[in-house]
Amino acid sequence: MTYELYYWTGIQGRGEFVRLALEDAGADYVDVARNRGDAVLDPFLAGDSSEDALPFAPPILRAGHLLIAQTAAILAYLGQHLRLVPEGEARRIYANQLQLTVADLVAEVHDSHHPIAASLYYEDQRLEAQRRAADLRAHRLPKYLGYFEQVLARSDGRHALGEHSYVDLSLFQLMAGLDYAFPNAMRRLGKDMRRLRALAGEVAQRPRIAAYLDSPRRLPFNENGIFRHYPELDDPA
């Protein structure tokens, strides 16, 4: 099957969590908007598509007759079909729970530069962003990253689920984004997240992921995406 991914061009965004799964599995997929422009998203978002399922926002995956939106829902589906999640109901449910927790942190990272409104420019909420980002760095990042360290410790120390899964790919992406956005804070927190660091290093060396990261398909992080580097939102150097 050829999967079709629909996501905004120009940023990694939430679509990147889906891309990493497709790339790691060597799946046959088309990144539709990158080929044909963001306008391909319009029918979905205007409610004009003829599908039964109505997405609220990208990323959207077409898989045969299925149309799936919401990153965690897409990954739960792909995990099973691309063998990126361990067998068994309990493991699949736990993978989904972990992915949803990644998603919660991703939303908090977004709001650290847009605490008032996604529809306003960063410059129009910069002071509020400084307050929110300070809390993120002081409380939320240590809490979430400490949690994921515990998850790894409780497993085999190297994988969230005792073997490779889409959750590890997402944790890699989370670390990559946080390193880009908050390099000073991540250095400070480094000593408490040795397992996450090792996991991220191992994922980056998986042959298909390494090839993907070297390819033009992997866009650089930038200040239109979720993970943005604004020095005033990071720890002082």
Which residues is 29 bridged to in the sheet?
3
Min separation Cβ 154 and a copy of itself, Å: 6
Measure CA of the first residue to CA of the last residue in the chain; give whole Å.
48
Q: Which of 214, 195, 213 is nearest to 157 (CA)?
A: 195
Q: Secondary structure of the chain: what % helix, strand, coil (to 5)?
A: 60, 5, 35
Nearer to a copy of itself, 36 or 194 (CB): 194
Nearer to a copy of itself, 132 or 159 (CB): 132
Q: Whose structure tokens read 């307050």?
A: 131
Min separation Cβ 135 and a copy of itself, Å: 4
What is the token pair recorded at 159?
Answer: 């994988």
What is the token pair recorded at 190?
Answer: 């480094």
Nearer to a copy of itself, 212 or 230 (CB): 230
Min separation Cβ 165 and a copy of itself, Å: 14
Min separation Cβ 55 and a copy of itself, Å: 7
Nearer to a copy of itself, 88 or 207 (CB): 88
Q: Which residues contact 65 (CB under 8 A, 6 or more apart)?
A: none
Nearer to a copy of itself, 99 or 209 (CB): 99
Min separation Cβ 68 and a copy of itself, Å: 6
Nearer to a copy of itself, 152 or 186 (CB): 152
Residues forming contacts to a copy of itself in the complex (CB under 8 A) are 47, 52-56, 65-66, 68-70, 72-73, 76-77, 89-90, 93-94, 96-97, 100-101, 104, 107, 111, 115-117, 119-120, 125, 128, 131-132, 135, 139, 144, 147, 150-151, 154
Min separation Cβ 149 and a copy of itself, Å: 10
Distances in Å between the alpha carbon of 83 and those of 52, 77, 78, 115? 27, 10, 8, 37
Question: Could you tell me where the beta strands, DSSP code E, fall in the chain?
Answer: 3-6, 29-31, 60-63, 66-69
